[in-house]
Structure 1
Amino acid sequence: MTSTDPIRDSVASSSTATRAAAPHAGTPGPAAGPRRFYPQLEGMRALAAIGVLTTHVAFQTRAVEIPVLGPVLGRLDLAVALFFGLSGFLLWRPWVDAAHRGAGHPSIPRYLRHRVVRIWPAYVVAVVLVLLLLPEAQGADFDVWLANLTLTQVFVPLTLTAGLTQMWSLSVEIAFYALLPVFGLALLRLRGRRVGARIPVLLAIGVLSLGWAWVGASLPVAEGVETKNWVFGHLVWFVAGLILAEVAGVLDTAGASRGRWMNLAIRISANRWLMLGLLVVAYGLACTRFAGPTGLGDVSNIEFVTKMVLGALCGYALLAPLVCNPGPFRFLDSRVMLALGRWSYGIFIWHVAVLAIVFPLFGIVPFNGNTVLVWVITLGLSVGIAAASYAFIEEPARNWLRNRDTRRRSNPVAP
């Protein structure tokens, strides 16, 4: 659920020119320089948010029980894999650029400041209003308040509450934000001539993370805590984005060394039809019992690992052609999709609470059909609230931090 906005602040004025000058993926030659803003990814972020909303609507209207179509709608929870892949890609790009330059690394304090300001202001407002006003969530105890305000729900039993159940994934994302600088510092020596070793190392991390299902199950945690929902269980979804960031770093760095395997990876990643085929196969398999139930139900360790692998493949297949090709991406770059992309974080944090009030407000019985009507109303209301959240909370908070950074750069304080 991360945003490109903090990165866009410094490059928005040149993003159009950079995009136009970007070389075609797989074509040797000088690169146009590191890209930090990809407009098409804003549109893809909007589709991910709508996908999460759709799967929740499908579950609460029992559309997931429809033969064939039901599992397809139910497995749209893999939109979370797309969100995680986007986060991994966008936040890892500055570290990749530093590795190709061969010196230094991004400012970790600045990175953490931007992550806090990006996530918490709108989130805190959502949590407070939901816990105070949503009937199903009223009366929450101290543990529920504290866990939700600090995004530690996945570590505290029975703290996922009505209107906020989707926040487990945001809790995982916050943990990844803390973990990313650790990865960056650990790979500092893999730069310059050693930069080619970064992808194998990241692949190894992703493969090792698949064993977390068994490790987590052996931990002495409180009853009600699902260790599969910790960041280590979903790390492979983020790693898909990290690897794509490494591929993009080679594409965008003039004179970057490209071995045979890297050229092959670039050609495969840029091939839209091949990536579409991978997406269809991976998503189709994810809709079967191999990846566990598409609704509520017990998930075995093997089913969980299968879902993680298929989700990582789906995320990579969706993102790679958008990063490794110069476009055009007329639909994703359209004004409507860019606007929805800006509001996608608000859509995500508000839509479950909105869905909870749609049923009584419009006299619709839950778990009794009316999927299309509920979807249209929920999406419309969520987009409206998200637009207000962006205009009155998210953007002012980012402007405050941007102005603060500008003042500190122009008026350095002597030691």
Structure 2
Amino acid sequence: MPPGYSVTSMTSTDSARDSVAASNTDSVAASNTDSVAASNAAAVAASDPDARSGASSHSDAAAPAVTSRRFYPQLEGMRALAAIGVLITHVAFQTRAVEIAVLGPVLGRLDLAVALFFGLSGFLLWRPWVDAAHRGSGHPSIPRYLEHRVVRIWPAYVVVVVLVLLLLPEAQGADFDVWLANLTLTQVFVPLTLTAGLTQMWSLSVEIAFYALLPLIGLALVRLRGRRASARIPVLLVLGALSLGWAWVGTSLPVADGVETKNWVFGHLPWFVAGLILAEVAGVLDTAGAPRGRWMNLVVRLSANRWLMLAVLVAAYGLACTRLAGPTGLGDVTNIEFVTKMVLGALCGYALLAPLVCNPGPFRFLTSRVMLALGRWSYGIFIWHVAVLAVVFPLFGIVPFNGDTLLVLVITLGLSIGIAAASYAFIEEPARNWLRNRETRRRKRAPAAP
């Protein structure tokens, strides 16, 4: 499976947040961004611990008032569309639809959905650090952050890995290295460990590496807070620009045959940085009294402009469908093509997310109950759909790489959604409830603060 054909889900919602989203959708249209943040903050904090900022309790009396990190229901709907999009591109590849003139490259380049998901991850996980920076002191609890990431990702993932390696005929007989690399999400570092039914997990391996890297970035920028917080965006832009050189650095490393260094987190950092920058912009919007220079006001206006962002998306995606960004199927990718794809992917991710964060809406389709439900199940769709696709062909007597794209798509999508819903209900949500209850018990045991 070619690199880039994957997406990941960073957070999830629950039924309480669905009701918050449904009740607030119409009011969003009549309010500005700051009022939306204030109205949603209390409901989100009550319904999902992950939605809280997690910042230190210490505060600076002179610092601007910071609204608690809010929940954006429209991002759940967008994540659902991205999950379906990446499923479509996998189906298109395995039914040779990517070879159709004009339409083929468009379907094949839906692998840029991973840029959207990396951007979502950067945005959502960076917001607590941004809030702490605007408060002027402290930073989020790193142990709590890491604990939540482990509980969010591994329980359902381990179930998929075990079942695929034991039951999928093409994956049976895997050796110890394959088992260990897949269970620990280190596939991008161990050669020849991406196996049938799990080939998309390389991007989840990149995601895990970003989880480890994010606190280091946060600590490096911790002094840029309060009045100096406006310098954070230029620093992040420099970081993203420097990471574009990884294509040449990675290819010069003495790694084992079969290890693709472009698939390490440093190579895909521009896609995450797009989300980090958007989080900084949202932090300014959600902080009463935050200083805004002319350039920040311009960034906010441009980011909130739906038509402008749509134009950027169409232009960037159109260029990505050409040879400038490398092949849309299997094939060698030059360093220049890889860098071009990283830049265009970052533009696509930002253009899709920025209006959803900076514009008050409404976003009735993205915040509908159906889209919110699909957003909850999007992680399950991602981790299960390649294995489901591998089973669909023999189960329904369809020959791989021989057409029947629409039939394969309908069957794969339906089965993947059903399995993802079960995965969420019986694995993901119970795991998060366990962690929530554990934190509640821990708080009750802690001595009362003076």
TM-score band by shorter chain is over 0.9
CA distance in 1: counterparts of 2:131 and 2:20, whole angstroms: 17
The Cα shift of 1:34 comes to 3.7
Distance 1:46 1:9, change over 3 A: closer
- For the 8 Å contact 2:33–2:285, the answer to whether it is kept is no
Q: How far apart are residue 33 of structure 1 and its match?
A: 2.4
CA distance in 1 between counterparts of 2:372 and 2:18 reads: 14
Structure 2: give runs of 5+ residues left out of the alignment. Answer: 1-7, 35-63
- Alpha-carbon separation, structure 2, partners of 1:239 and 1:322: 17
Residue 59 (structure 2) aligns with: none
Deviation (angstroms), 1:51: 1.0
Query: Take 1:325 and 1:212, find their aligned partners in 2: how far apart are those partners?
Result: 34
- Contact kept, 8 Å, 1:23 with 1:32, in 2: the verdict is no
Q: Distance in 1 between matches of 2:162 and 2:383?
A: 12
Counterpart in the other structure of 2:242: 208
Q: 1:324 aligns with which of 342, 358, 362?
A: 358
Letter in 2 for 1:3: M
1:239 aligns with 2:253: no
Which letter maps to 1:79? Answer: A
TM, length-normalised to structure 1: 0.95
SS of residue in 2 equivalent to 1:284: helix
Task: Choose which of 258, 266, 275 in structure 2 pairs with 1:224.
Answer: 258
CA distance in structure 2 between the partners assigned to 1:254 and 1:10 by the alignment: 28
**1:326 Cα offset (Å):** 1.2
Q: Which runs of 5+ in 1 are unaligned?
A: none
Distance 2:199 2:85 in 1: 16
Which of the numbers 193, 196, 201 marks the counterpart of 2:227?
Answer: 193
CA distance in 1, matches of 2:329, 2:19: 44
1:293 pairs with one of 327, 333, 343: 327
Matched AA of 1:249: G
Offset of residue 39 of structure 1: 0.3
- The one of 30, 36, 39 aligned to 2:70: 36
Using the TM superposition, give the Cα deviation of residue 295 of structure 1 relative to its aligned residue in structure 2, in angstroms: 0.3
How far apart are the structure 1 equivalents of 2:409 and 2:431?
Answer: 30
1:271-304 superposed Cα distances (whole Å, 9 cap, x missing partner): 0000000000000000000000000100000000
1:174-233 Cα distance to aligned partner (Å, 9 max, x none):
000000000111000000010000000000000000000000001000000000000000
Say if 2:424 is the partner of 1:390: yes
Give 1:318 deviation, angstroms: 0.3
- CA distances 1:35-90 after superposition (whole Å, capped 9, x unpaired): 42100000001011111101100000000000000000000000000000000000
CA contact (8 A) 1:131 1:140 kept: yes
Match of 1:169 in 2: 203
* Equivalent residues in 2 for 1:39-188, closer than 5 Å: 39-188=73-222
Q: Once the 2 structures are TM-superposed, how far is the Cα of residue 22 of structure 1 from its aligned partner?
A: 5.7
Q: CA deviation at 1:410?
A: 1.4
Give the SS at the match of 2:207.
helix
User: For 1:375, which of 409, 413, 436 is the aligned residue?
Assistant: 409
Partner residue of 1:334? Answer: 368
State the TM-score, normalized to the length of structure 2: 0.88
Matched letter for residue 109 of structure 1: P
Q: Is the 8 A contact 1:22 1:31 kept in 2?
A: no
Contact 2:66-2:135 within 8 A present in 1 as well: no
Distance 1:162 1:260, change over 3 A: same
Q: What secondary structure does 2:223 align onto?
A: coil
Decide whether the 8 Å contact of 2:109 with 2:328 is kept in 1. Answer: yes
Aligned AA (1:337): M
Q: 2:12·2:375 contact (CA, 8 Å) conserved in 1? A: no
Pair 1:346–1:329, CA change in 2 (3 A): same
Alpha-carbon separation, structure 1, partners of 2:12 and 2:441: 19
Q: How far apart, in 2, do the equivalents of 1:378 and 1:369 lie? A: 14
| Superposition deviation, residue 268 in structure 1 | 0.4
Shift of 1:9: 11
Cα RMSD for the two superposed structures:
2.0
2:284 alignment counterpart = 250
Matched residue type, 1:255: G
Is the 8 Å Cα contact of residues 34 and 249 (structure 1) preserved in structure 2? no
Identity rate, percent: 86
In structure 1, give the amino acid aligned to 2:286: D
Shift of 1:4: 3.2
Query: Given residue 95 of structure 2, which amino acid in structure 1 is its aligned partner?
Result: T
